[in-house]
Chain A
Amino acid sequence: MIEAQGLTKRYGRTVAVNDLSFTVQPGRVTGFLGPNGAGKSTTMRMILGLDNPSAGTVRINGKRYSELDRPLLQVGALLDAKWVHPNRSARSHLRWIAASNRIPVKRVDEVLEAVGLTSVAGKRAGGFSLGMSQRLGIATALLGDPGVLLFDEPVNGLDPEGILWIRQFMHRLADEGRTVFVSSHLLSEMALTAQDLIVIGRGRLIAQTSTREFIDTASESVVRVRGPEMERLHGVLTSQGLTVRDAPEGDDGPAALVVPNASTEQIGELVGKVGLVLHELATKRGSLEQAFIQLTGQDVEYQAGVPGVPGGGPVAPPQATGGIFTPPANATAPGGDGR
């Protein structure tokens, strides 16, 4: 179990991680999702005590990393597969790390076996391919047989076989009851690997939810309607209590209206009753990537709880047009009486 509370990291005036709070549960693979530069690696380094948070705390099984005795027995991490001296053999690399936490030497051969590197154990790690390095990194993380595992972009640059192997490996680790926290900037990969998701953008928490829920919301179907009299069309639809958004001219075609949580039948009948002409009436499913980019591209307005916002899916929540200095529309809603 990993718990972050108000975790913040500033580099000069840049805020890399901003007031991040989340919980990673054991027995599941939790994906840590965000675009490049969102603060994923920085967060992981703070979890592991490599970087000092500017504010906030993060605890592993109730303790700060620096308070752990023989930490490798509790936490295993693969942050960068290249953290190996290139002229040292894989076995020597694991041997010194094992020795540091009084892990028996025979464990070195066990983890080499587990990741399939036994035959190259004596070879210098500098000559390893990316896939082999990644396996060595995973072997390092597994050395102490820890209950908590962190992987930073473990599938980056791997071939499909390697990706599949890592994915299955992580599932196995989670099935054994371990806490598995894995970062990625690829939603499609996380959709297959993780059961839970923590989504961040520009250092802020965007959502903490189950992957299924996140994808259902993200790929929610909407109805696209277009006609010559757009304003009347808009009025007719909203008068029936439907949420209507403007879709500007783009890849999908000319400017149109987008109606979530509706069916083409419903809208067709509505419009037919008032005798409006339609040029387009179609159901569209949002793509995961699109949803992800919209979610993480502009971050300030999109705080936690996206999947729970009624009517406003993550495809384009209603406050999307607010400038960066505009306070979020929902900021005053829950505890507004406090001012």
Chain B
Amino acid sequence: MTLLTVERIKLLSTRSPWWCMILSTALTVGLTVIFAATVKGSDVADFDVGTTQFAYNFGLVVMMVMSTLAVTTEYRFGTIRSTFLAVPTRTPALVAKGVVVAGLAGLVGEITAIGSWGLAKVIQPDAPLSLSTANEYRNVFGVGLVYLLASVFAMAIGLIVRQSAGAIVIELVYLFLLENLLPAIPRIGDHIQHWLPFTTGDNFIVANQPHHSDGPPVIDGMPFGPWGSLLYFAAVCIGLFVIGCVLAKKRDA
């Protein structure tokens, strides 16, 4: 409990996390609002719950940057050493950071998701935006969980790389290039795609939706259903975080 307080003070006593959270929410909700306001009258019937979440990857990336920085700035400014002096076993402090930062990212995810959906509903009251099926609930409320796990992933990379620019570049290259290009490999590409963590994470949100052109694509033939996909994504993110913690404990600080 005390370590959670420590990490909360650390995270919220500098300004950049606040900016990241504001930016994350504003980007995602703002884009959805513009989208909702510009939907053509003839398309209103297709403007469903899933579509209101099309922009969630924008906020997600910003939250990943915040999560990475929460780790790497500690290395940059040496405060990780002060942390390890206070908690020489190291792991509890890192886990506390994981909980606080990922929890906050999850919260921001929920806010952006609910905000996006709620404002869309206000702007387009005639669109089919009421929540009734499990799919629709997952479309909205599931977004926070993906934010939370992506934040764990980002912190893990931060712990492994220990350097802001390097960690963020790795994450962005992975997220926007590798996960999109690997499936283009002939024959095996499709199989690889089914096991890419972020694609699987997206599948948790978009599974069982009709194919659409907005937001993360719906991919057929995924090995897991929505909750299985989430578990797989969680296993990858938490697994990496464990590797990060083991390295942090073993290495000289």
Q: Which A residues are within 8 Å of any B CB, using their own CB?
A: 45, 48-52, 65-66, 68, 71-72, 75, 77, 79-80, 82-89, 92, 95-97, 99-102, 140
Contact = CB atoms under 8 A, between A and B. Distances in A.
Given A50-B85, A51-B253, A99 B9 contact: yes
5 contacts: A85-B10, A87-B14, A96-B10, A99-B5, A140-B82
B252 interface: yes
A97 B82 contact: yes
B82 A87 contact: no
Given A68-B88, A71-B88, A96 B9 contact: yes
B234 to A, nearest CB: 28
B21 to A, nearest CB: 16
A100 B6 contact: yes
A60 to B, nearest CB: 11
Interface string B102-146: 000000000000000000000000000000000000000000000
B223 interface: no
Contacts of A100: 2-3, 6, 83, 86-87, 93
A80 B78 contact: yes
Contact of B78 (A72, A82, A87): A82
Nearest to B15: A87
B47 to A, nearest CB: 42
A145 B220 CA distance: 62
A89 B13 CA distance: 8
Interface of B: 2-3, 5-6, 9-10, 13-16, 73, 77-79, 81-89, 93, 250, 252-253
A43 to B, nearest CB: 13
A99 B6 contact: yes
Q: Which 3 A-B pairs have the closest CB atoms?
A: A83-B78, A100-B86, A92-B13
Given A87-B14, A87-B16, A101 B86 contact: yes
Contacts of A79: 81
A148 to B, nearest CB: 12
Contacts of A87: 14-16
Nearest to A66: B88
A72 B85 contact: yes
B252 A83 contact: no
B80 to A, nearest CB: 9
B18 to A, nearest CB: 11
B79 A48 contact: no
Given A83-B78, A97-B82, A49 B88 contact: yes
Given A87-B14, A89-B13, A92-B9, A97 B77 contact: no
Contacts, number: 76
B90 to A, nearest CB: 9
Contacts of A68: 88
A87 B252 CA distance: 26
Contact of A48 (B5, B9, B85): B85
B13 A83 contact: no
Contacts of B16: 87
B14 A83 contact: no
Given A49-B84, A82-B78, A87-B16, A96 B6 contact: yes
Contacts of B93: 100
Contacts of A95: 9, 13
A222 B150 CA distance: 72
B16 to A, nearest CB: 7
B85 A77 contact: yes
B248 to A, nearest CB: 12
B245 to A, nearest CB: 15
Given A51-B253, A82-B78, A88-B13, 10 more contacts: A51-B252, A52-B250, A75-B85, A87-B16, A88-B10, A92-B13, A96-B9, A99-B6, A100-B86, A100-B93
A97 B78 contact: no
Given A50-B252, A92-B9, A97-B82, A66 B14 contact: no
A97 B93 CA distance: 12
Nearest to A143: B86
A68 B89 CA distance: 10
B7 to A, nearest CB: 8
A80 B78 CA distance: 8
A80 B14 CA distance: 21
Contacts of B81: 50, 79-80, 83
Nearest to A102: B2
A89 B73 CA distance: 16
A66 B85 contact: no
B86 A72 contact: yes
Nearest to A45: B252
Most buried by B among A71, A86, A88, A96: A96
A101 B85 CA distance: 10
Given A85-B14, A89-B13, A99-B2, A66 B77 contact: no
A102 B16 CA distance: 26
A89 B85 CA distance: 20
B82 to A, nearest CB: 5
B84 A50 contact: yes
A99 B81 CA distance: 16
Interface centre among B9, B73, B79, B85 (most CB of A within 10 A): B85
